[in-house]
Amino acid sequence: MTRTLLAVAVASALSATVIPAMAYEPSSGTECIAPSDPGGGWDFTCRTAGRVLSDLDLVPGNVQTINMPGAGGGVAFAHVVSKRANDDNLLIAASTAVPTRLAQNQFPGMNMDMVNWIATVGSDYGVIAVPKDSPYQDLNDLMEAIKEDPKSVKFAGASANGGWDHLKVLIAAKAAGIKTLREIPYLSYNNGGSALTQVVGGHVNAFTGDVSEARGFWESGDIRILAVLSPERLPGEFSKIPTAKEQGVDAIGPNWRGFYMPAGIDEDAKQYWIDAVNKLYESDEWQQVMKNNGLMPFHYSGEAFDEFMAQQVKDIHELSVELGLLQE
């Protein structure tokens, strides 16, 4: 074989060699959208998980939190679907509020299949709280006042009207035997911190939200938490808070926390982030975060998360119809 033919043969062999594609790695500048102002549960999810992802070297550098409030998460959802559909370096904080709004058709023209559901990282149980000088000493006091006059107790929460925070109050009121659910006043704010400020300031009678949102105001003594909507008392310092169930009101209100991503990302990028959030959840650092903030174990990822989401959208749709918040 001549030297020229040999060179051609070698080049041909090399060109036929399959070079494996590089596995996906996140680039610097990973972002996490919190669909709320600073101070709410979504903001907490982005900032805290972002810090742990960085500490575990699952992302290069730091994760930047982008606050994008509006429409109970709808502004962020629409932004991701329409403008960031292929961004594989973008996480979006989510919770039970998102399937609630999807179940109620509150994100016009959009559905759960327009994004990728990555994983959950725990459950933040709902609470009902009042200002420190409130006349209501326990949950039954509050529910009796509502029975006597449904408009006498005005609630503040972070979700939109008919959203998950609002639903938690209605679930508790229904369990307490209250029939006039539609008459209970509810005011919506962009985040739990803003809602709590209104309660502490005496402008609203009661707060409906989550443990992580209420913790600071509770520890400072500005509010009293009348009940946590969990099956049993929470661990650690939160064990002081009675459940609604032990007060005779059989109401459970778990608010899972987790992430979704744009629909157009590559499969290897999606799998990377599923694995990364799984590692986050299993880490000692995140377990300590959960303990410090009253989060309870709650973890779905990948396909299991998709199946869970589909079932939750269906269940919340049916509940919203039953409570008169949505027409069939």
pLDDT tens-digit map of 91-125: 999 999 999 999 999 999 999 999 999 999 999 99
| 37, 109: one domain | yes
Q: What pLDDT sits at residue 11? A: 43
- In the predicted structure, residue 3 carries a pLDDT above the cut 70: no
- The number of folded domains in the chain is 2
Is 63 a member of any domain? yes
Provide the CB-side half-sphere exposure for 113 (13 A, CA): 1
* Domain that includes residue 287, residue range: 31-124+254-322
- Count how many residues are written for the chain: 328
Least confident of 106-115, 156-165, 215-224: 156-165
Domain boundary among 216, 247, 278: 247
Is position 317 within any domain? yes
Judge if 131 and 207 occupy the same domain. yes
Same domain, yes or no: 224 and 303: no
Assess whether pLDDT exceeds 70 at residue 6.
Answer: no
Residue recorded with tokens 């650092």: 285
Q: What is the pLDDT of residues 46-71, one digit of tens each?
A: 999 999 999 999 999 999 999 999 98
From the centroid of its chain, how far is CA 218? 21
Query: What is this structure's pTM?
Result: 0.81
pLDDT at residue 15 above 50? Answer: no
Model confidence at 22, pLDDT cuts 50, 70, 90, reads low
CB 97 within 8 A of CB 192: no
Domain identity same for 266 and 292: yes
What CATH number has the domain bearing residue 64? 3.40.190.150
Give residue 9's pLDDT band: very low, low, confident or very high (50, 70, 90): very low
Same domain, 91 and 108: yes
Q: What is the distance between the alpha carbons of residues 43 and 171, in angstroms, rounded to a whole number?
A: 26
Co-location of 115 and 261 in the same domain: yes
Q: pLDDT at residue 159 above 90?
A: no
Instruction: Please check whether residue 2 lies inside any domain of the structure.
Output: no
Mean pLDDT of 272-281: 98
CATH of the domain at 181: 3.40.190.10
* pLDDT tens digits for range 168-215: 999 999 999 999 998 999 999 988 999 999 999 999 999 999 998 899
209 lies in the same domain as 312: no
21 domain-assigned: no
Q: State the average pLDDT over residues 257-283.
A: 97
Note every long-range contact of 20-25, with CB atoms under 8 Å and residues 24 or more positions apart, other chains counting.
23/268, 23/272, 24/88, 24/266, 24/268, 24/269, 24/271, 24/272, 25/272
Same domain, 147 and 196: yes
Residues 107 and 141 both lie in one domain = no
Calculate the alpha carbon distances from 232 to 113, 125, 186, 240, 247 in Å. Answer: 34, 11, 27, 12, 12
